């Protein structure tokens, strides 16, 4: 499986984690933020379902035409919420479900599994590539 990661930043002054990476802290506004890899697993915080094709451009419809998709925020263990596309077999009751990052371009994309993710590890994220 391809190594995926989200690059954020962490403030050396107050510890606030931001995404995308920046040199200034979003909370205390000092220029002490340094790059930091973010977890690739989190929990769906909230979401909505896009049931009609967005305005194009900028939206680029897929070759087979538009299909409804879920989009929302995934909360990472770092305490930050990342906006992205949510892939799931269902659009029901995704809030609180585990989500795994599967792509970062052009926008973050997560696979959501409301019944849990059966990949062996039950821990979310932080033990990634040191
Ligand atoms: Zn700060």
Q: Which of the four pLDDT bands, split at 50, 70 and 90, describes residue 117?
A: low
Angstrom distance (rounded) from CA 59 to CA 53? 8
* 11 C-alpha to ligand 1 centroid (Å): 5
* 24 C-alpha to ligand 1 centroid (Å): 8
* 13 C-alpha to ligand 1 centroid (Å): 5
Lowest-confidence segment of 56-65, 95-104, 114-123 by average pLDDT: 114-123
* 76 C-alpha to ligand 1 centroid (Å): 18
> What is the pTM for the complete model shown?
0.80
- Around ion ligand 1, which residues have CB less than 5 A away? 11, 13-14, 16, 25, 27-28
Torsion from C-alpha of 50, 103, 74, 71, nearest 10 degrees: 0
Domains within the chain, CATH numbers bracketed:
1-38 (no CATH), 39-116 (2.40.50.840)
Angstrom distance (rounded) from CA 114 to CA 90? 8
Selection from 80, 86, 19, 81 nearest residue 47 by Cα: 86
Angstrom distance (rounded) from CA 103 to CA 100? 9
Q: How do residues 82-104 score in pLDDT, each as one tens digit?
A: 999 999 999 999 999 999 999 99
User: What pLDDT shows up at residue 115?
Assistant: 77
The mean of the pLDDT values for the chain is 88
The percentage of residues in the chain with a pLDDT greater than 70, rounded to a whole number, is 87
* 19 C-alpha to ligand 1 centroid (Å): 13
């Amino acid at each position: 499986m391809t190594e995926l990661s989200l690059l954020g930043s962490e403030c050396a002054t107050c510890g606030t984690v931001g995404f995308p990476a920046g040199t200034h802290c979003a909370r205390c506004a000092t220029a002490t933020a340094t790059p930091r890899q973010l977890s690739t697993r989190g929990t769906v915080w909230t979401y909505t379902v896009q049931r009609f094709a967005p305005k194009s451009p900028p939206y680029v419809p897929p070759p087979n035409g538009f299909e409804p998709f879920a989009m929302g925020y995934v909360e990472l263990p770092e305490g930050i919420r990342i906006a992205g596309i949510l892939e799931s077999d269902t659009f029901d009751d995704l809030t609180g479900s585990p989500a795994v990052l599967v792509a970062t371009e052009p926008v973050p994309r997560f696979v959501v599994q409301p019944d849990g993710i059966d990949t062996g590890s039950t821990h979310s994220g932080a033990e990634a590539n040191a």
